[in-house]
């Protein structure tokens, strides 16, 4: 496990560089990320380049045995470029150029932005192609699904639609534009969704295509830069740093042609009072690993109180800084880079705290970071190990975007259901991958597919095949609702999945913040909320029924048994018709694990996370107490005591190291 830091030499006097590099080396830092926002210093004026300062910084770190990740600086075009070519500035929903002076002030599709980006990226790659200390490249910074309303983007969208639908008649039919008398006469008449409006008022098919095209734009922009770098450095290791944002890109497509995934990891420093709230970033970490089904990097890791566009948050509690970093390692990160070495004294992010505060005097967090570096070195023997998972959670990009366009009911949140399902299985100490609809299903025993709202026929067919070959499938309410055009399917829900689940929806009740009782066959009553599919069982077993409201007694959760064939074992398909509390998912997860014959830990304390990494002849459990309370429990015959946010390694033999 490698530990690094993000560093901005252009922000600091040169006298500090050598001091910082020496202290980093003494502390155990092995790499730094540089230059992702430094275009104005790398190209101070048009076609005049100055890499001297960056050469000096890289030499300073290299002489202390520290490797470099170089960022391409395209997130922030310099002022001279914006003044010379203001059409590079993105246009907002109001049809006006967006304000400059903040990062990300560029239209990814603008041909002039592409021209200048190609030049600076090619110059950087050419200058450092033989520098052995530059071990990886980061493209841009925190790329989002590109939402720009300039004429370049508008024309690009029209051409995208023309390529997809061929004729305007096909588009009108797919979109159902006859509704509200909105039929288009030609592709040239299609405008973007201008205005400060509620997105749900717009045509949902039109809006989903808009998000799809935006996601393709950002993927293509990353590929454009990767191709430039590889044309100069064929064996370059290339990534981009990503995060969950309002306009989250399609992570799976974004990283298709990049070498590894990088994530910016900022877990909460304020633990919720409600014990049912899910705050762990384990779900994000398993998501990142599932993108390419291999280990990944953390390119920005929490180092202290966060504050910028929002008020400052609580600082990290003792143990958090180390614990959250090691949590990432436990879930497949091989490298963790902390943001940032020193807290900025200038600019908008001066209250987004780094390892060393404005005082420039190392304090509690820094010394905890130093201990982390020592711990990471002791874990180096596990660097070649990976997580192998029997359980996968299926994430649908289209469904997430479609839900964002048309909210279902108060409190109904697609990602919350992903988290609830993940937390349920993680509570039993099993490894979990979060995969997309194009992933290979064959390596798993259980696939959870919550709220497959937009129906991909290929996904449906592969889930049918997976269940037919002995796999266990879990589906939930709001599955099979829409076709790929984001139009409702005229059939009883869950439509294409009805024969798989062995049940159908007679009626549904969007209850929002109200609750219903859900009683399991053995008598335990748990809580359902947000949504209630009132089910009728066809050839499925009813395992829980509603116990309140006018549909009391109607099936709420079913399980269909698929008979064992000559070549495949018995399999089950669950349908959960409501959005439940955590205990409801935990109960269903345990049943599914038992059905699938997967070993699990039945009494892992809540808040304790366990993953297993194997490879290179090693196998070990990684145990993390993600709570503010000490936990004492029995695990694999050992008495385990974990302080708040403490992390321990238990080799399979087992013995603690």
Three-class HEC string of 207-243: HHHHHHHHHHHHHHHHHHHHHHHHHHCCCCCEECEEC
126-to-33, 112, 123, 233, 234 alpha-carbon distances in Å: 18, 21, 5, 8, 12
Q: Which of 36, 43, 83, 142 is catalytic?
A: 142
- State yes or no: is 300 an active-site residue: yes
What count of Cα atoms within 13 Å lies in the side-chain half-sphere of residue 288?
A: 28
CA 156 – CA 484 distance, rounded (Å): 21
Residue showing tokens 């005229």: 490
Cβ contact 323:626 at 8 Å: yes
Please confirm, yes or no, whether 220 is among the known catalytic residues. no
Q: Which residues pair with 395 in a beta bridge?
A: 436
Q: Which of 36, 300, 386, 586 is catalytic?
A: 300
Residue position matching structure tokens 């370049």? 152
Backbone angles phi, psi at 293, to 5 degrees: 55, 45
CB 149 within 8 A of CB 194: yes
Q: Where are the beta strands (DSSP E) in 277-363?
A: 296-301, 333-338
Q: What angle do CA 120, 126, 129 make, to 5 degrees?
A: 130
Neighbours of 578 (CB within 10 A): 28
Angle at 348 between CA 346 and CA 354, to 5 degrees: 70
Omega before 127 within 30 of 0, i.e. cis: no
Angle at 172 between CA 167 and CA 174, to 5 degrees: 95
Q: Which long-range contacts (CB under 8 A, 24 or more apart) does 637-646 make?
A: 642/608, 643/319, 644/317, 644/318, 644/319, 644/323, 645/317, 645/318, 645/319, 645/320, 645/322, 645/323, 645/324, 646/319, 646/323
What's the CA gap between 139 and 240, in Å, rounded?
Answer: 5
Residues annotated catalytic, as ranges: 142, 300
């Amino acid at each position: 496990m490698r530990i690094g830091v993000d560093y901005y030499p252009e922000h600091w006097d040169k006298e500090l560089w050598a001091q910082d590099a020496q202290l980093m080396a003494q502390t155990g830092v092995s790499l730094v990320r540089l230059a992702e926002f430094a275009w104005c210093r790398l190209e101070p004026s048009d076609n005049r380049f100055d890499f001297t300062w960056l050469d000096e910084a890289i030499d300073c770190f290299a002489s202390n045995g520290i490797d470099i990740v170089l960022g391409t600086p395209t997130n922030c075009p310099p002022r001279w470029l914006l003044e010379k070519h203001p059409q590079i500035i993105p246009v907002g929903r109001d049809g006006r150029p967006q304000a400059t002076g903040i990062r990300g002030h560029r239209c990814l599709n603008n041909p002039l932005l592409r021209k200048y980006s190609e030049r600076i990226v090619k110059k950087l790659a050419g200058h450092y192609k033989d520098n052995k200390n530059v071990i990886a490249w980061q493209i841009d910074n925190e790329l989002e699904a590109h939402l720009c309303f300039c004429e370049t983007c508008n024309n690009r969208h029209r051409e995208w639609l023309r390529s997809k639908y061929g004729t305007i008649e096909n588009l009108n039919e797919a979109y159902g534009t006859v509704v509200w008398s909105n039929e288009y006469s030609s592709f040239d008449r299609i405008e973007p969704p201008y205005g400060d409006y509620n997105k749900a008022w717009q045509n949902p098919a039109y809006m989903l295509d808009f998000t799809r095209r935006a996601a393709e734009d950002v993927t293509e922009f990353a590929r454009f830069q990767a191709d430039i770098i590889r044309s100069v450095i064929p064996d370059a290791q290339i990534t981009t740093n990503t995060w969950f944002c309002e306009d989250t890109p399609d992570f799976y497509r974004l990283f298709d042609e990049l070498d590894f995934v990088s994530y910016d990891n900022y877990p909460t420093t304020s633990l919720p009072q409600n014990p049912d709230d899910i705050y762990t970033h384990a779900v994000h970490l398993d998501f990142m690993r599932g993108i390419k089904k291999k280990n990944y990097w953390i390119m920005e890791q929490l180092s202290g109180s966060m504050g910028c566009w929002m008020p400052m948050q609580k600082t990290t509690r003792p143990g958090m800084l180390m614990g959250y970093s090691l949590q990432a390692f436990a879930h497949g990160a091989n490298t963790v880079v902390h943001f940032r070495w020193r807290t900025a004294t200038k600019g908008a992010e001066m209250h987004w705290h780094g390892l060393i505060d404005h005082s420039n005097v190392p304090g509690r967090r820094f010394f905890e970071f130093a201990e982390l570096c020592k711990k990471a070195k002791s874990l180096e023997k596990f660097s070649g190990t990976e997580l192998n998972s029997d359980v996968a959670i299926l994430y649908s990009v289209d469904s997430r975007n479609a839900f964002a366009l048309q909210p279902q009911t108060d409190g109904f949140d697609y990602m919350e259901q992903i988290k609830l399902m993940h937390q349920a299985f993680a509570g039993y100490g099993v490894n979990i991958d979060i995969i997309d609809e194009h992933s290979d299903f064959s390596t798993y025993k259980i696939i959870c597919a919550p709220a497959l709202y937009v129906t991909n026929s290929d996904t449906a067919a592969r889930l049918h095949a997976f269940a037919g070959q002995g796999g266990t499938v879990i589906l939930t309410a709001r599955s099979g609702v829409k076709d790929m055009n984001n139009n409702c399917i005229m059939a009883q829900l869950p439509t294409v999945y009805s024969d798989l689940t062995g049940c159908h929806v007679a009626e549904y009740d969007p209850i929002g913040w109200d609750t219903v009782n859900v009683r399991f066959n053995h008598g335990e009553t748990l809580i359902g909320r947000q949504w209630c599919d009132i089910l009728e069982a066809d050839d499925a077993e009813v395992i829980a029924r509603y116990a309140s409201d006018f549909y009391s007694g109607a099936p709420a959760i079913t399980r269909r048994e698929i008979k064992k064939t000559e070549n495949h074992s018995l399999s089950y398909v669950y349908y959960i018709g409501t959005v439940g509390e955590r205990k409801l998912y935990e109960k269903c997860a345990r049943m599914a694990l038992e059905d699938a014959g997967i070993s699990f830990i039945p009494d892992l304390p809540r808040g304790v996370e366990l993953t297993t990494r194997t490879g290179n002849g090693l196998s070990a459990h990684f145990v993390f107490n993600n709570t503010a309370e000490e936990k004492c429990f029995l695990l694999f015959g050992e008495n385990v005591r974990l302080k708040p946010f403490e992390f321990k390694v238990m080799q399979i033999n087992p013995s603690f190291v």
